[in-house]
Structure 1
Amino acid sequence: MGKKAARRAAVTAPVLAPDEEVPVVGGREPCPCGSGRRYKACHGRGAGRAADALVRRPFEGVPSECDWVALREVVPAATSPLALAPEHAVEGVEVRLATVLPMAWPALRRESGEVLVGLQTQAGSGDVSRDVAHALLRALAAEPGTPVPPAGLPGPGPRLQDVLDPSAPLRVTVHEGFDFWVEGADGGPEVAASLERANAAVVPTERLTSVEAAYWCRLRDRAHLRWVLPHPEEALLDALARLHAAGASGLGGGTRFVGSFRAHGLLVPVWDLPLDSSAEALEEPAEAWGRRLDEALASSAPLTEAERGARAGLLNRQLTLR
């Protein structure tokens, strides 16, 4: 559009009533408020700032927050049914969370009407919760048999905290591969190729049943336990330092606590395990470690010199994942 045409469009843009909501349009289009400016320079400025703002703990307040973080960052193939708040639920439509979908689609709606929403997708904004909720709502509105392609967020909108039933925790099923992509359907050659690539890269992973959000995995030459914990970071670091200084941070013979990383506002302790370890063998040691952690968290005594040194070492080995 030339400059004269743009000016004419701006002049003829509708003028809204003072209490009328300004609709979202393209950034280069005239703002619907009638100001004569482009949307991105007028009412779109707030939407842009909202989209760029980083939410440090995006899943806070969602049931099973720790498992949301684990499925976003450390679990290759898993699903869980999702229960929606009554105002967003669609009668007869089931919704499932999936770690990854074919071609990294944010969501899809099967021919059956079931909705799958992906969690390990490229974020469109600084708020993963908002991105996933946006994809979920788009999928609910899509025709059966339709994938939801990546798209930028149009502006502020509901988050998972607004869309999900707050009383329904995740019920995680860890899969050996991504065959759930094509349950009861033929996804075509592109999906088949994507499925083959994804299955070839899957790391064997299991979720412990005795504690929450702890995942065993086996890599080529070693095994790990990664456990997402909900506690405030400073208190948790003090507790981990107390355990480490006391030689109580391991999970039994042949295991070694190696540090932690931060993901979506929560700390994730990591242990090296013997290659022949199993999730089943870790159940009792993990329960016992959880009790030791609770005792350390309950302590109000100042850290000793050894504990302060252990805490400094933990901080030096800490990484941050968005």
Structure 2
Amino acid sequence: MAKKRPQTKAKRPQPSGARSDGGQIPVVGAREACPCGSGRRYKACHGRAAAHAATELVHRPFEGLNGKCDWVALRELVPAATAALTLREGLPEGVPSVTLATVLPMAWPALRRDDGSVLLGLQNDTASGDISRDLADTLLRALEAEPGTPVEARRAPADGPRLQDLLDPAAPLDPDVHSGFEFWVPDAEHASAEVTASLERANAAAIPTVKLTGVESAYWCETPEKNHLRWVMPHPEERLLDALARLHAAGQSSLGEGTRLVGSFRAHGLTVPVWDLPTGVGAEDIEKPAAAFAERLAEALAVTEPLTPEERRARGGLTNRQVTLS
């Protein structure tokens, strides 16, 4: 049995992170006595503030990245997609490419392939509360990993870099949406039976998804009962909801006959309006209506007058159907 630690005489607690001699409190075990001299365990004293800071949620982790709306879409909406990433400092020797992927086999955070290329998985749990910092930490470790090995998950250091520090801010994010997960393996036709079975299971669960070409960050998807358009928008939430309410009250919020704006959800600080579409309406059918809606929305966003009573009711209906994903 472990010996009980002697408790030091309680002293006046110092401000978080400070010591009576003006230095910084050293890092100790969570169950050890807090170095501030309070007599309490570190986890119940100064360690509590440190733990809270380490897990504080960053609500807009992709802010400042080129294509932030598509980052959100690939994180929350799209089953199978890849996008080439460009590093600020260029690629290290032996790394021919770095590719962002929605999800990787076994939910690996990253994979260093046999040829040295890196696949970075986006749809993973974040340990630190800052997806951008966790992804940057995973990417750095993947760049140094042995070829042919996956990278395990871990909590990123609190002072570590974020994606915004590692990626070239001028390089566009150009997602390539796939019908399946064959991008997992370089040569699917010669894959093992185990890998083939894994691919078949993943492909069977993937919802068919297509990125529209005429507007930015809008994704059509097909489900058994009806199709949908989910459109990640960069506008401030309150301003966007007002504009959607103006269009909804005026009967201009649909994307054509049989379509309906059904609400929106929040994801990583951005708002994502959602439309129900008839089963027979495909991605190509919605391109022109979406482009026309984008023009109407731009006009509505420019209006500064207060909402009318009818527009306020429309806004209330939209707000009541809003869901927060992250």
Identify whether the pair has TM-score above 0.5, normalized to the shorter chain: yes
Alpha-carbon shift at residue 127 of structure 1 (Å): 1.1
Mean Cα deviation higher: 37-46 or 176-185: 37-46
Residue number among 162, 176, 180 corresponding to 2:179 in the alignment: 176
User: Structure 1 residues 44 and 89 mapped into 2: Cα distance closer, same or farther (>3 Å)?
Assistant: farther
User: Structure 1 residues 287 and 26 mapped into 2: Cα distance closer, same or farther (>3 Å)?
Assistant: farther
Corresponding position: 1:211 with 2:239: no
Residue number among 90, 93, 96 corresponding to 2:92 in the alignment: 90
Matches of 1:240 and 1:228 in 2, distance apart? Answer: 14
Structure 2 letter corresponding to 1:251:
L
1:123–1:131 contact (8 Å) kept in structure 2 = yes
Structure 1 letter corresponding to 2:182:
D
Corresponding position: 1:230 with 2:225: no
Residue number among 145, 152, 176 corresponding to 2:148 in the alignment: 145
Alpha-carbon shift at residue 298 of structure 1 (Å): 0.2
SS at structure 2 position matched to 1:257: strand
Alpha-carbon shift at residue 151 of structure 1 (Å): 2.1
Task: Give the alignment's TM-score, normalised by structure 1.
Answer: 0.86
Corresponding position: 1:273 with 2:284: no
Question: Which deviations, in whole Å up to 9, do the C-alpha atoms of 1:177-205 show, x marking residues without a partner?
Answer: 10100114877666544323211101110
Matches of 2:83 and 2:276 in 1, distance apart? Answer: 27
Residue number among 57, 67, 70 corresponding to 1:67 in the alignment: 70
- Count the aligned residue pairs: 309
Root-mean-square deviation over aligned CA pairs: 3.1
Matches of 2:155 and 2:59 in 1, distance apart? Answer: 20
Percentage of pairs with the same residue:
65
Matches of 2:171 and 2:110 in 1, distance apart? Answer: 21
User: Structure 1 residues 5 and 242 mapped into 2: Cα distance closer, same or farther (>3 Å)?
Assistant: closer
Task: Give the alignment's TM-score, normalised by structure 2.
Answer: 0.85
1:156 maps to: 159
User: Structure 1 residues 173 and 38 mapped into 2: Cα distance closer, same or farther (>3 Å)?
Assistant: farther
Which runs of no fewer than 5 residues in structure 2 stay unpaired?
8-20, 35-39
User: Structure 1 residues 187 and 61 mapped into 2: Cα distance closer, same or farther (>3 Å)?
Assistant: farther
1:34 maps to: none
Corresponding position: 1:303 with 2:307: yes
Matches of 1:81 and 1:43 in 2, distance apart? Answer: 42
User: Structure 1 residues 102 and 47 mapped into 2: Cα distance closer, same or farther (>3 Å)?
Assistant: farther
1:27–1:44 contact (8 Å) kept in structure 2 = yes
Corresponding position: 1:283 with 2:287: yes
Structure 2 letter corresponding to 1:155:
A
Structure 1's consecutive aligned runs of 4 or more residues displaced over 4 angstroms after TM superposition are: 1-7, 20-31, 37-47, 185-193
User: Structure 1 residues 191 and 104 mapped into 2: Cα distance closer, same or farther (>3 Å)?
Assistant: farther
